[in-house]
């Protein structure tokens, strides 16, 4: 029972939240996009959590789901890359299991040194287990991801923020996106609402200033990293709002730059933007000036 709870909490940690019930909703949501994503979402987190237990990683960190979410994303990414059309090849599943374990091992290196990894272990792992394998056809595997559905008609385009929520987990269904939004709302309504706004802001920015295909925008491709930025920096202070706006714009720029090189960006836009913001936040927190003193200075 403890393993199951930690596994579902790990699924929830994809959105930087800690709540097992939300994790269950997320797993269910993924089945509305593709059954392999639903299975992969749960199995990946289970493998990561169980691996951490076998290797005697800190129990508190395991219970917080810290070793489940990167493994879950890695498993889903492998299925998204190779298994959406035909998942009958055993090498696909072996690759997914291996990716989940490697992502867990990398995550441990970050927690060991008290460094914030976000979803970097998943990204680094999948550059090897998905992009490189597909590019060079290792193990006779080739990318079979279907083309994006045409969501450019007005009604579907309005639903872009929910497609962006689905895209965080490689989903393509608006139902998936709505359920993921609700799953986050269970634990943090503020993060969910900020995420909805950030997806719209990031997509609008990409539309106005970058050369991005309209259908990519409509499918939420430039909205999912801003959602993760919002989940990471949500709060009730004005500075949280500023961090989310700046982080969303940075994430989109970084994602576009990496994609332009022909490399899948995954969530690297969110990761680098958040690392930069954390560095700035740390400097500002250390500088913590006296606001009352500033008020007195401006109002002698």
Q: What's the pLDDT tens digit per position in 130-159?
A: 999 999 999 999 999 999 998 888 777 788
Any idea what the Cα angle at residue 70 is, between residues 99 and 184, rounded to 5°?
145
- At 293, the pLDDT band (50, 70, 90 cuts) reads low
Flag whether pLDDT at 98 surpasses 90: yes
Q: Which two tokens stand for residue 264?
A: 């899948």
Residue 210 — left, alpha, or beta (φ > 0 → left; ψ -120 to 50 → alpha)? beta
**Rounded mean pLDDT of 278-282?**
92
Between CA 31 and CA 141 the distance in angstroms is 24
pLDDT given at position 291: 55
Could you give the dihedral angle defined by the CA atoms of residues 70, 75, 80 and 81, in that order, rounded to the nearest 10 degrees? 100
144 C-beta neighbours (distance < 10 Å), count: 16
* Among candidate residues 38, 44, 56, the one with its CA nearest the CA of residue 13: 44
Q: First vs last Cα of the chain: how many Å apart?
A: 63
The 10s digit of each residue's pLDDT in 111-137 is 999 999 999 999 999 999 999 999 999
What percent of the chain has pLDDT above 90?
86
- Note the pLDDT of residue 158: 84
Mean pLDDT, the chain, whole residue set: 93
pLDDT tens, residue by residue, 172-186: 999 999 999 999 999
Long-range contacts at 263-267 (CB < 8 A, ≥ 24 apart): 263/127, 263/131, 264/126, 264/127, 264/130, 264/131, 265/225, 266/77, 266/119, 266/122, 266/123, 266/126, 266/127, 267/73, 267/118, 267/119, 267/122, 267/123, 267/168, 267/224, 267/225, 267/228
What pLDDT score does 289 carry?
53
Q: Give CA torsion, residues 234, 216, 170, 228, to 10 deg.
A: -10
Domains of the chain in start order, with CATH, are 1-146 (1.10.3430.10), 159-300 (1.10.3430.10)
Question: Once rounded to an integer, what is the mean pLDDT over residues 23-29?
Answer: 96
Give the DSSP letter string of 32-73: TT-HHHHHHHHHHHHHHHHHHHHTT--HHHHHTTTTTHHHHH
- Within the chain, strands assigned E span none
Say yes or no to pLDDT of 189 above 70. Answer: yes
> Would the pLDDT of 193 be above 70?
yes
């Amino acid at each position: 029972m403890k393993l199951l709870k930690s596994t579902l909490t790990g699924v929830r940690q994809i959105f930087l939240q800690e709540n097992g019930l939300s994790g269950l909703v997320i797993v269910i949501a993924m089945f509305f996009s593709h059954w392999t994503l639903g299975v992969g979402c749960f199995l990946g987190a289970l493998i990561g959590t169980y691996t951490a237990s076998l290797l005697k990683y800190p129990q508190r960190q395991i219970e917080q789901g810290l070793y489940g979410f990167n493994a879950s994303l890695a498993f889903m990414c492998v299925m998204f890359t190779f298994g959406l059309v035909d998942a009958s090849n055993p090498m696909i599943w072996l690759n997914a299991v291996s990716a989940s374990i490697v992502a867990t091992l990398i995550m441990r290196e970050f927690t060991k040194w008290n460094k914030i990894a976000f979803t970097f272990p998943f990204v680094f792992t999948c550059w090897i287990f998905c992009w490189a394998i597909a590019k060079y056809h290792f193990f006779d595997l080739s990318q079979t991801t279907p083309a994006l559905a045409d969501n450019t008609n007005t009604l579907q385009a309005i639903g872009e923020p929910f497609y962006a929520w689905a895209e965080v987990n490689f989903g393509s269904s608006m139902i998936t996106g709505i359920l993921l939004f609700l799953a986050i709302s269970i634990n943090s309504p503020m993060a969910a609402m900020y995420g909805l706004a950030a997806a719209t802001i990031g997509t609008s920015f990409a539309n106005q200033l970058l050369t991005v295909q309209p259908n990519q925008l409509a499918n939420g491709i430039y909205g999912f990293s801003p959602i993760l930025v919002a989940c990471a920096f949500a709060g009730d202070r004005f500075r949280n709002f500023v961090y989310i706006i700046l982080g969303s714009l940075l994430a989109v720029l970084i994602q576009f730059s990496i994609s332009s090189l022909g490399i899948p960006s995954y969530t690297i836009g969110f990761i680098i933007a958040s690392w930069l913001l954390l560095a700035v936040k740390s400097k500002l927190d250390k500088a913590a000036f006296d606001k009352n003193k500033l008020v007195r200075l401006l109002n002698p």
